[in-house]
Amino acid sequence: MQATKFKSLFSLAAIYKNCVRTVAVTSTTTNTNTENLKPFKDIPGPPSLPIIGQLHHFMFGGVFTNMEDPKTVTRLTETYGPIIRLDSIFGKPPLLFLSDPESVAFILRSENWMPIRPDLESLEYYRKYYKKNKKAGQGNKFQTTGLSTENGKEWKEFRSTVNPVMLQPKTIKLYTAVIDEVAQDMIARMKANRDDNNMIKKDFYKEMNLWALESIGTVALGCRLNCFDPNLPPESPEWQLFQCIQDLFTISYEIDFKPNLWRLFPTPMFWKAMKLYEKHENLLKYFIKKGQDNLKNKCGIERGVLEKLLEINEYTAYIMASDMLFAGVDTAANTVTATLYLLAKNPEKQAKLREEILSKSERRPYLRACIKESMRLMPVVAGNARKTSKPYNILGYEVPKDVNIIFTHQTMSLMENNFPRADEFIPERWLVKKDDPLYYGHSHPFACLPFGFGVRSCIGRRIAELEMETFMSKLMENFQVEWFGPPPKTVHRSLNYIMGPYNFVFRDIK
């Protein structure tokens, strides 16, 4: 028994060695010339059985049973190498995991004209078929269902329409004051909710999500939601919206990311998801109406995001608000939590950051570097994805059209050959000059892409950066942040979630 174990360990090591060697030799061979290639079925991956394919790997004891462990993909990469194949299960198309930055760069660049991102199929189903939104939107110029769910020509047209609204620095700057106000209110709430040990009495995860919802709400819905109000009743639309977003993420993980039968026939969980999407839609429409009423009383001349989107049409404003709330709450909340944790564990970096913030200088390069480094070490988005629009030669294998590929950025960001001293929190690597071995320019630019790439990259990046930088500054101004005990547990679902217990201590800065 023992000998067999060792034998399999050695053979795994041998596979990996071979794969590493293969990368060194073939990483330059990723291209669109598909002659004389090894067939797709030969791409390494967990072995398939007749009829059930790779299903048993998702069952008890299988390599994918613990898909919630963020290290699973890294372990698979160590076992099978930089390209891993997963066969079709329950109607989900085949999947590749890719951890070779050069190949990632090639595919992302080749697909950058009209990138297809396989995503949130249940939301797509809701918007396209359940609500027959295409029909509902017939009066609109673009028959779109939104950025998160659309692909092809319809995505491109919609993205070109909303890009000038969402990405213009002048428009985003309009939110500086209100985002600052939200951050200050959150600090006051945190101060009021500390116990005798300076720990937050309330659920820290919920608190960070409340901050993120209140912040993005000012942009998407054009008003303060006031979710920090301690007297807000649980049945209020504000609380319902908050809870609905949390529930949607949980259910979407179950039906979009795990093997699930709803693609073959409607399951009870499928109906539950549709009802939740419907509730979310109705709540958003209620808040947009409120935002519109607020705009009527506004006397300023500068127009904000909601105003500009409403000028395109009401449907566009609703769809973009929906996308902003889907994509902009958990992402910002988890990134701030990760940055706080890493600063708490590295008090000398925290002191350096506080010095920069208290200097009141307008430029804050160290703050930006801290957030960037936290997104490398503890990213909320573990990997990005594209569906191939043509056949490729990837590392010597034939990869046909219509294959979903996951770029394993979290795994690549933690590889020593991509980032020296990869598992250390060193914000300086984003600031030092070329002659320093840590200089980020020595690393492959496609290993770490927290906001994605190219024309399809995160449309909320500027807003997210404004929110996170503003809140982090306020946190550093007000608190000395400490952490005790073991590191927090992170689970990988549709996003990486930092779970409790949250052993943060927030001491007042004297």
Q: Which stretch binds ligand HEM (CB under 6 A): 53-61, 259-267, 306-314, 446-454?
A: 446-454
Least distance (Å) between residue 147 CB and ligand HEM = 4
Give the CA count within 13 Å in the CB-facing half-sphere of 412. Answer: 27
Q: How far apart are CA 291 and CA 309, in angstroms?
A: 12
Residues 6 or more apart in contact with residue 265 via CB below 8 angstroms: none
Binding mask 205-244 for ligand HEM (x = CB under 6 A): -----------x----------------------------
Whether the CA torsion 5, 11, 13, 19 is positive or negative: it is: negative
Segment 328 to 347, residues that bind ligand HEM, using CB under 6 A: 328, 331-332, 335
Q: With respect to ligand HEM, which residue has the nearer C-beta, 200 or 381?
A: 381
**Amino acid letter, residue 263:** R
**Cβ-contact 474, 364 below 8 angstroms:** no
SS3 content of the chain, % helix, strand, coil (to 5): 55, 10, 35
Q: With respect to ligand HEM, which residue has the nearer C-beta, 45 or 137?
A: 137
Least distance (Å) between residue 152 CB and ligand HEM = 12
Which of 210, 276, 284, 463 touches ligand HEM by CB under 6 A?
463
Residues in the chain: 510
Burial of 258 (0-12, 13-18, 19+ CB in 10 A): middle
Q: With respect to ligand HEM, which residue has the nearer C-beta, 83 or 464?
A: 464
Least distance (Å) between residue 446 CB and ligand HEM = 11
Tell me: does residue 57 bind ligand HEM (CB under 6 A): no
Q: How far apart are CA 452 and CA 454, in angstroms?
A: 7
Q: DSSP labels for 229-242? A: -TT--TTSHHHHHH
Least distance (Å) between residue 233 CB and ligand HEM = 27
Which of 190, 213, 255, 327 touches ligand HEM by CB under 6 A?
327
Looking up tokens 């999407």, which residue turns up?
Answer: 277
Which of 205, 450, 497, 502 touches ligand HEM by CB under 6 A?
450
Judged by CB under 6 A, the number of residues near ligand HEM is 26
Tell me: does residue 323 bind ligand HEM (CB under 6 A): yes
Which of 452, 492, 497, 504 touches ligand HEM by CB under 6 A?
452
Q: How far apart are CA 402 and CA 116, in angstroms?
A: 9
Q: With respect to ligand HEM, which residue has the nearer C-beta, 331 or 494?
A: 331
Structure-block tokens of residue 188? 């006051």
Binding mask 377-416 for ligand HEM (x = CB under 6 A): ---xx--x--------------------------------
Which of 104, 182, 447, 458 touches ligand HEM by CB under 6 A?
458
244 is in an annotated binding site: no
Burial of 433 (0-12, 13-18, 19+ CB in 10 A): exposed
Q: Residue 395 — left, alpha, or beta (φ > 0 → left; ψ -120 to 50 → alpha)?
A: left
Residue 492's φ and ψ, nearest 5 degrees, are -100, 110
Q: Which stretch binds ligand HEM (CB under 6 A): 168-176, 196-204, 321-329, 418-426?
A: 321-329
Segment 244 to 303, residues that bind ligand HEM, using CB under 6 A: none
- Under the rule (CB under 6 A), what is the footprint of ligand HEM? 117, 147-148, 159, 216, 323-324, 327-328, 331-332, 335, 380-381, 384, 450-453, 456-460, 463-464
Q: Provide the annotated binding site for heme.
A: 458
